[in-house]
């Protein structure tokens, strides 16, 4: 049996939907599974989904999911042969990868050397430049002080983007429009990077105001095969973190798609990359610029799976076990269109601020072409200790328009109570003109928020105007004896006026 030649038991050093996602593929391959959990996650679905589970500490991630030795202790105690890091937490930590290997376990991820080279954004940029891949102007190395940041920014020119050198997901990232804002933004970016990745290194690059965000899925084995499995468009973002992803991108021609795919595999080959990864690019005016490599499986990997028919976790396990991939670049022929919506417990009306609480009811959408990856159930607690992602809702259809319509139907059917979610906002995105036409860019969310604010201001002005008119009419009616006096505590017979006689006053909307 194939699975017997892979691993007998795999520990997932993560939580939520990604842990459950990895467990599913392991079960299909006959591999036993091990979960780790914090005290906040004792009753979490990912704990129940595993064959066995181990407590690794208090709720804060820095005391549990980010403590390498606790995870390694759980692996030793459980007898796990391999560790899958998921995404986030320690997934891109080369020191953890080395510790796993030194403990005699298999690391289901890229080699530590490749992680260091490409996981650090500054060294990844150098690799790209060496291989003729275009990059945006930026600092070749992390900046170590506000003084150095001020000097570098002046040379690059505003606006600039501060980025955590050791991670992704929008953490440790700040747009700076002017020099007066740089010092405070630098401190906040460094602090967030340190708390998210255990590394406060920040580098600076030129900020493009209206680009599109394109990424290429990479999969490489240790036998010389390095493939790209199509692209994903990830331009719908809030706080530089994606909330909608699709494949293929409506912006790319076949020629540009090939060029970006070739650029991604050139960088991967140059670094000795093995495993799953994502090369990210900005795209504007038919030109692309390399951003970074995420040396792990991405949150949005399901859209690639839907259009290619590949199980990327299965491929990760195959590669980690030292086996060759069973396909060639020519055999990768994506079909149809897939779109993923990230459902967060956040309030779009309050700047997407997290909405912690207990999920009291959950009935996810289903039906043809719909996939639902989730790490919660009714009764689950959404806490401020971790990312507020509840689920990912993915659709597939033969073409983009039908994929959008299928998702709109699924959103209408989705039932969740107890926490505020971004589901209504996601529906607005899918109906937004630039999204439906495929002409949107990374400013789409901010533009929608500005439009929403403008509508609210207009509504407030209209309501104030109508209230003033009503008050004036009421005074006029009272002076003319048309309005009757009601006894205290009784309901009026007509709102907003009580009228004597023939009903000369009427309320219209």
User: What would the DSSP string read from start to end of 269-289?
Assistant: HHTT--EEEEEEEEEETTEEE
User: pLDDT-derived band of residue 216, with 50, 70 and 90 as boundaries?
Assistant: very high
Alpha carbon of 311 to those of 1, 2, 187, 229, 478: distances in Å?
Answer: 18, 15, 40, 12, 75
Q: Point out which residues pair with 358 in neighbouring strands.
A: 381
- Rounded Cα distance between 276 and 315, Å, is 8
Position 36 pLDDT exceeds 50: yes
Position 463 pLDDT exceeds 60: no
User: pLDDT-derived band of residue 461, with 50, 70 and 90 as boundaries?
Assistant: low
- Comparing 253 with 490, which gets the higher pLDDT? 253
428-455 mean pLDDT: 92
**CB count, 10 Å around CB of 398?**
11
* Interacting residues of 10 by C-beta distance below 8 A, sequence separation 6+: 22, 26, 31, 32, 33, 34, 80, 81, 82, 83, 84, 108, 317
Q: Which two tokens stand for residue 131?
A: 């291989």
User: pLDDT-derived band of residue 492, with 50, 70 and 90 as boundaries?
Assistant: very low
User: pLDDT-derived band of residue 209, with 50, 70 and 90 as boundaries?
Assistant: confident
Position 509 pLDDT exceeds 50: no
Dihedrals phi, psi of 211, to nearest 5 degrees: -90, 175
Going along the chain from its start, the domains and CATH numbers come out as: 2-108 (3.40.50.20), 137-206 (3.30.1490.20), 210-335 (3.30.470.20), 342-442 (3.30.470.20)
Contact 434, 448 (CB under 8 A): no
Of 137-141, 203-207, 349-353, 398-402, where does mean pLDDT reach its minimum? Answer: 137-141
* Residue of 125, 232, 296, 371 with catalytic role: 296
* Interacting residues of 150 by C-beta distance below 8 A, sequence separation 6+: 179, 182, 183
Confidence (pLDDT) at 240: 85
Position 471 pLDDT exceeds 50: yes
282-304 mean pLDDT: 95
Position 455 pLDDT exceeds 80: no
Tell me the pLDDT tens digit for each residue of 302-342: 999 999 999 999 999 999 999 999 999 999 999 999 999 99
> Above pLDDT 90, what percent of the chain?
78
Tell me the pLDDT tens digit for each residue of 54-74: 999 999 999 999 999 999 999
472-498 mean pLDDT: 47
User: pLDDT-derived band of residue 476, with 50, 70 and 90 as boundaries?
Assistant: low
Q: Is the alpha carbon torsion for 316, 320, 326, 328 positive or negative?
A: positive
Confidence (pLDDT) at 403: 98
Position 490 pLDDT exceeds 70: no
212-226 mean pLDDT: 98
Mean pLDDT of the chain: 89
Confidence (pLDDT) at 119: 79
User: pLDDT-derived band of residue 472, with 50, 70 and 90 as boundaries?
Assistant: low
509 given a catalytic annotation? no
125-140 mean pLDDT: 92
223-237 mean pLDDT: 98
SS3 call for 439: coil
User: pLDDT-derived band of residue 451, with 50, 70 and 90 as boundaries?
Assistant: confident
**CB count, 10 Å around CB of 74?**
22
131-159 mean pLDDT: 91
Q: Quick one: which H or E segment has residue 190?
A: helix 182-197
Tell me the pLDDT tens digit for each residue of 368-394: 999 999 999 999 999 999 999 999 999
420-425 mean pLDDT: 97
Contact 143, 282 (CB under 8 A): no
């Amino acid at each position: 049996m194939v699975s017997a030649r892979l691993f007998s038991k795999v520990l997932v050093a993560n939580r939520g939907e990604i842990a459950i996602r990895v467990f599913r593929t392991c079960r299909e391959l006959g591999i036993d599974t091990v979960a780790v959990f914090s005290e906040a996650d004792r009753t979490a679905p990912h704990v129940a989904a595993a064959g066995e589970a181990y407590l690794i500490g208090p709720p804060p991630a820095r005391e549990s999911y980010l403590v390498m030795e606790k995870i390694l202790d759980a692996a030793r105690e459980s007898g796990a042969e391999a560790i899958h890091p998921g995404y986030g937490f320690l997934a891109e930590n080369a020191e953890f990868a080395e510790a796993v290997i030194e403990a005699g376990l298999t690391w289901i991820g890229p080699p530590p050397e490749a992680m260091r080279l490409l996981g650090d954004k500054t060294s990844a940029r150098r690799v790209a430049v060496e291989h003729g891949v275009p990059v945006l102007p930026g600092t070749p190395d992390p900046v170590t002080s506000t003084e150095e940041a001020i000097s570098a920014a002046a040379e690059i020119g505003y606006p600039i983007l501060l980025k955590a050198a050791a991670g992704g997901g929008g953490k440790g990232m700040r747009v700076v429009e002017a020099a007066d804002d740089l010092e405070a933004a630098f401190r906040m970016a460094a602090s967030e990077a340190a708390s998210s990745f255990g590394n406060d290194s920040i580098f600076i690059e030129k900020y493009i105001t209206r680009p599109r965000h394109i990424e290429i899925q990479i999969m490489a084995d240790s036998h010389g095969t390095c493939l790209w499995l199509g692209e994903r468009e990830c331009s719908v973002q809030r706080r530089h973190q994606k909330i909608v992803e699709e494949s293929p991108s409506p912006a790319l021609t076949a020629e540009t798609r090939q060029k970006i795919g070739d650029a991604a595999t050139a960088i991967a080959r140059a670094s000795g990359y093995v495993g799953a990864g994502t090369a990210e690019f900005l795209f504007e005016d038919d030109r692309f610029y390399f951003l970074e490599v995420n040396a792990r499986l991405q949150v949005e990997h399901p859209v690639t799976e839907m259009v290619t028919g590949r199980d990327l976790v299965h491929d990760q396990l195959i590669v980690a076990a030292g086996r060759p991939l069973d396909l060639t670049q020519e055999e990768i022929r994506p079909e149809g269109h897939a779109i993923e919506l990230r459902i967060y417990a956040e309030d779009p009306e309050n700047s997407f601020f997290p909405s912690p609480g207990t999920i009291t009811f959950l009935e996810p959408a289903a039906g043809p072409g719909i996939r639902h990856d989730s790490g919660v159930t009714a009764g689950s607690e959404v806490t401020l200790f971790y990312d507020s992602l509840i689920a990912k809702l993915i659709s597939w259809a033969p073409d983009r328009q039908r994929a959008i319509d299928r998702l709109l139907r699924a959103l209408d059917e989705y039932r969740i109570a107890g926490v505020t979610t971004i589901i209504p906002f996601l529906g607005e995105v899918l109906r937004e003109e630039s999204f439906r036409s495929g002409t949107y860019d990374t400013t789409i969310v901010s533009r929608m928020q500005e439009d929403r604010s403008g509508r609210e201001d207009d509504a407030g002005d209209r309501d104030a105007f109508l209230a003033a008119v009503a008050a004036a009419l009421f005074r006029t009616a009272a002076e003319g004896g048309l309005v009757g006096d009601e006894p205290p505590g009784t309901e009026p017979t007509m709102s907003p006026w009580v009228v004597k006689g023939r009903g000369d006053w009427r309320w219209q909307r």
